[in-house]
Structures are given as structure tokens and as C-alpha cells.
């Protein structure tokens, strides 16, 4: 039996894949241990979506090498995909037992991690198949997400869009969908394990089904999931505005276990910038989509991604973005400064925006996002909403969870409510969350 550490950076798909590694190690009788424990193998599932994510990945690798001088290090994920040679050349890697595994070969990771030697090479070696040649999704079944109340279900991988700022199509390859039966089977496993909520995820989840022979799309698979496991609450991860259809909204409206919450990337409120980003919609189309969503689904929460300081973004174009968002009805913003990614078209664009300007714009957008969030939350004061109670309490010892429409709540209660869906009345709003109280009654439905 070996002691295994798993460190995960980045997106929901990385978290799903790390859960698959965890499930496989445990099934083979090995022990998953926390950071700081004596370990035989350390797996680091890296991210490369921004410069910061790449730097964090390298920091995690260096720290693991430094803190665990006898452990075998296994590095995978998007940073391993684009920077394998640089990782091999790191000073801390020299003389160590290490394996670098590309995204297309993650299904081989557990066997590679447990292998004592790789041929005659006991140092650093790679397992790498070009990800852009892959036409089938890597099989990575999951049994457990540990102590979480919700699980992520990866139904799709890869992206065909090639936005000019994004490295992901180069690290994840073309879009590939999980077969329908495998999607349903994974959802049933999570239900058997006691999870009450599943976030249906993908690198570009709206592409789901385009490469399958079953004539199914994202609306169809969500409908099947809602019907197959009606005891599970479903959320859909980030989906592009052009892939939100009336059919998808009808599925949400007709199924009580499809939560009224959508996260829709905008990236810029300037049509000129959207064009240079190689996005496939205009601001008017985006506004129409958000309006359709809110007319179709009562109390819908809408989250939006924004990228500030894209190359060439002028003060006027930033003002257009701010004004567009100011006039739009939505729930919250995720704001990111543009990060240059070598290998993308935008990295070679002229007029790169200075860091301090990007920082200023990010600050203004985040303030606007907080205003919108407070406006949305205040609408529900005095109302009761169903809340899935999480296993961990907040720093004040109160229970916590999210309403169906993604409002974070804290409230008093004992441990019997963990992993239960309970009605909670929203009573008091503070800077980041709402406080409420459980409505007495039958909470074990």
C-alpha cells in the first residue's frame, strides 16, 4: 500500500479527472493522504489557462519536490501539455523519479504512478500522445469526490472555437463527447454514493453530442439526466450564449431538478473587441440571449465572464463594456485581466494593455459585479428557497449551502442537516452572503 497525494489546479474538468485518479488509487488499496504527510507518490494536475495558473503549477511542483525528497512525482494537466520540456529542465527535477503525462494519456496515470521503474529509465520520463489527434474522450470513471455534497460530471472535453486569446484548444484538443450510456452510468454512480447535486461540465459543454451518432445535444442529455436520476439536483457549467436554445431553457423550466442558474461567458461588451477575440456573437445577440433566459426561467441566476485589458482595448471600448454591463440584468461577474498565452494569436497583437491599466479596469468591473450581486440577492429577502446543506460549516460554525438559484446562505442548525435539501428563509444580507433560518418541517426529501 502506498501513500498518495493529489494536488489539483484549475477547472472543474481537472477536478473531475483528479477524482478519477483518487477513485482508482483507492480501488487498488492505496491511501490518499493530505499535503504534508509522508508520501510515496505525488500527483500534480496542472493548469495553464493564464500566466498566473502556469506559475502556480510550477510552484506546486517545486514545493512537492522540496517537501518530499523520496516521493515519485507525476505531473499532468494543461501546463504539463504545453511546458513539458521546461518542466523537465527545472533544477529541482534533476535526479528525481518523475513522470510527465499528457492530457490524452490521463487514463494511464495511475498505472504509471505505481510503476517502480520505466524500462531502464529511473529518472524523468514522459507519456505523451498528441492531444490534437484524439477523436475519443479519455475514459476516466469516478466513484467518489471525497466528502463533497456535489460532484462534477465531465461529459465533454476539448474545444473547436480557437478564441484568439485562449490556449485551451492546444492543450485539450478537439471537442469529444462521452457516450450517452456512460454519462448516465456515471450519474447513477454518484447517486449511489449519496451525492445530491451534480454539475454537468465540459471544456466546451455546449458542443456536447456534435461528434456522436445518437442525434443528441446538450439539451437532450440534460433532459435524460433529469429523468434518469430525479433525486439529483443538476447544474450546467459555463455555456456559450450561441448554444443556449429555447429547447434547453424548456428542459430547465420543465424539470424541477435542473437548477435555475446559467453561467454565460461574454468576455467583452465591445463588438470590435469581440471580433478580435474571435467570439461568435455580438453584444446585441448576447443581450437577447440573457433576456430570453430570464423571460423563460423565473428567478434565474445569470453569471457572466469578462476579460479586461484585451490587446488594443481602448478607454472607449472599456467604457462600452462597462455601460453594456451596467444596463444588463444579471447576478454576478467573474472578471479576469487578459493574460498573454504564447502560441495564441492575441499574444502577437500590437498595443498590449499595460498591467496597471488592466488592474484599474478589473477593479471597476468587480465593483459593478458586487453591486449587481447585491441587487439580485436583495430581491429574495423574506422568501424561502431550497438549499443543499454542505458538509463543512463556515468560520462562524454555521451551516452553509447554495439555494437552487445559486445564492450562498449561512444558517443555524445541527449536523443532521448535512447533505439534505432544506427550505431556508433569506433574512439578512451582508457583504458576501445572506443569512437565513431553516423552516421547520420534513427536510429529508
Q: What is the pLDDT of residue 444?
A: 44
* 3-129 and 132-259: identical CATH topology: no
The per-residue pLDDT for 430 is: 83
In SS3 terms, 245-291 reads as CHHHHHHHHHCCCECCEEEEEEECCCHHHHHHHCCCCCHHHHHHHHH
Residue 122 is predicted with a pLDDT of 57
How many Å apart are CA 307 and CA 335, to the nearest integer? 6
Residue-range domain boundaries for the chain: 3-129, 132-259, 264-379, 384-438
* CA-based radius of gyration for the chain: 22
Cell readout for 283 is: 453584444
β-strand pairing of 384-389 with 399-403: antiparallel
Exposed/middle/buried for residue 327 (C-beta within 10 Å: 0-12, 13-18, 19+): exposed
Consecutive H or E run containing 55: helix 51-67
Residue 388 has a pLDDT of 97
The closest of 82, 136, 72 to 110, measured between CA atoms, is 72
pLDDT at 8: 96
Q: Is CATH 1.10.3470 correct for 384-438?
A: no
Burial class of 444 by CB neighbour count within 10 A (0 to 12, 13 to 18, 19+):
exposed
Q: What is the DSSP string of 363-401?
A: HHHHHHHHHHHHHHHHTTTT-EEEEEEPSS--TTS-EEE
Q: CATH classification of 264-379 is 3.90.420.10, yes or no?
A: no
CATH number of 3-129: 3.40.50.12160
| Strands 399-403 vs 150-157: parallel, antiparallel or unpaired | unpaired
pLDDT in tens, the chain (445 residues): 999 999 999 999 999 999 999 999 999 999 999 888 889 999 999 999 998 999 999 999 999 999 988 999 999 999 999 999 999 988 888 888 899 999 999 999 999 999 876 544 457 889 999 999 899 999 999 998 877 789 999 999 999 999 999 999 999 999 999 999 999 999 999 999 999 999 999 999 999 999 999 999 999 999 999 999 999 999 999 999 999 999 999 999 999 999 999 999 999 999 999 999 999 999 999 999 999 999 999 999 999 999 999 999 999 999 999 999 999 999 999 999 999 999 999 999 999 999 999 999 999 999 999 999 999 999 999 999 999 999 899 999 999 999 999 999 999 999 999 999 999 999 999 877 799 999 987 554 4
Tell which residue, 62, 9, 60, 71, has the closest CA to residue 37. Answer: 71
Query: Looking at the domain 132-259, which fold is it?
Result: Transcription Regulator spoIIAA (3.30.750)
Beta bridge partners of 434: 409, 429
Distance CA(364)–CA(152), nearest Å, equals: 32
How far apart (Å, rounded) are the C-alpha atoms in residues 223 and 250? Answer: 10
| CA–CA gap between residue 321 and residue 305 (Å, rounded) | 12
Amino acid at each position: 500500500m502506498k501513500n498518495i497525494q493529489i494536488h489539483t489546479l484549475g477547472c472543474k474538468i481537472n477536478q473531475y479527472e483528479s477524482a478519477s485518479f483518487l477513485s482508482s488509487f483507492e480501488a487498488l488499496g492505496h491511501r490518499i493522504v493530505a499535503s504534508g504527510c509522508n508520501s510515496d507518490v505525488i500527483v500534480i494536475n496542472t493548469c495553464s489557462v493564464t500566466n498566473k495558473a502556469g506559475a502556480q503549477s510550477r510552484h506546486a511542483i517545486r514545493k512537492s519536490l522540496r517537501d518530499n525528497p523520496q516521493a515519485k512525482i507525476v505531473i499532468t494537466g494543461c501546463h504539463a501539455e504545453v511546458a513539458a520540456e521546461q518542466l523537465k529542465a527545472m533544477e529541482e527535477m534533476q535526479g528525481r523519479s518523475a513522470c510527465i503525462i499528457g492530457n490524452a494519456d490521463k487514463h494511464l496515470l495511475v498505472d504509471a504512478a505505481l510503476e517502480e521503474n520505466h524500462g531502464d529509465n529511473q529518472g524523468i520520463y514522459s507519456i505523451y500522445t498528441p492531444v490534437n489527434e484524439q477523436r475519443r474522450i479519455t475514459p476516466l470513471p469516478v466513484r467518489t469526490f471525497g466528502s463533497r455534497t456535489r460532484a462534477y460530471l465531465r461529459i465533454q472535453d476539448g474545444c473547436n472555437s480557437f478564441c484568439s486569446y485562449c490556449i485551451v484548444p492546444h492543450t485539450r484538443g478537439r471537442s469529444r463527447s462521452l457516450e450517452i450510456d456512460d454519462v448516465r452510468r456515471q450519474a447513477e454512480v454518484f447517486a449511489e454514493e449519496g451525492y445530491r447535486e451534480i454539475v454537468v461540465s465540459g471544456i466546451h459543454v455546449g458542443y456536447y453530442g456534435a461528434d456522436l451518432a445518437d442525434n443528441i445535444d446538450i439539451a437532450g442529455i440534460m433532459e435524460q439526466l433529469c429523468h434518469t436520476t430525479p433525486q439529483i439536483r443538476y447544474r450546467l457549467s459555463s455555456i456559450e450564449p450561441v448554444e443556449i436554445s429555447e429547447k434547453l431553457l424548456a428542459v430547465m423550466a420543465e424539470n424541477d431538478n435542473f437548477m435555475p442558474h446559467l453561467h454565460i461567458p461574454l468576455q467583452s461588451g465591445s463588438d470590435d473587441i469581440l471580433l478580435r477575440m474571435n467570439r461568435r456573437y455580438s453584444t446585441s445577440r448576447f443581450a437577447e440571449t440573457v433576456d430570453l433566459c430570464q423571460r423563460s426561467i423565473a428567478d434565474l441566476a445569470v453569471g457572466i465572464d469578462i476579460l479586461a485589458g484585451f490587446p488594443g482595448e481602448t478607454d472607449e471600448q472599456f467604457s462600452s463594456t462597462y455601460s453594456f454591463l451596467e444596463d444588463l440584468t444579471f447576478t454576478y461577474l467573474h472578471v479576469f485581466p487578459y493574460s498573454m498565452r504564447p502560441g495564441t494569436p492575441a499574444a502577437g497583437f500590437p498595443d498590449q494593455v499595460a498591467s496597471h491599466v488592466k488592474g484599474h479596469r478589473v477593479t471597476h468591473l468587480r465593483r459593478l459585479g458586487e453591486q449587481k450581486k447585491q441587487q439580485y440577492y436583495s430581491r429574495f429577502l423574506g422568501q424561502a428557497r431550497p438549499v443543499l446543506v454542505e458538509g463543512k460549516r463556515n468560520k462562524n460554525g454555521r451551516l452553509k449551502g447554495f439555494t437552487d438559484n445559486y445564492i450562498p446562505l449561512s444558517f443555524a442548525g445541527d449536523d443532521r442537516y448535512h447533505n439534505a435539501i432544506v427550505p431556508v428563509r433569506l433574512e439578512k444580507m451582508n457583504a458576501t452572503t445572506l443569512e437565513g433560518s431553516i423552516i421547520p418541517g420534513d427536510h429529508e426529501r
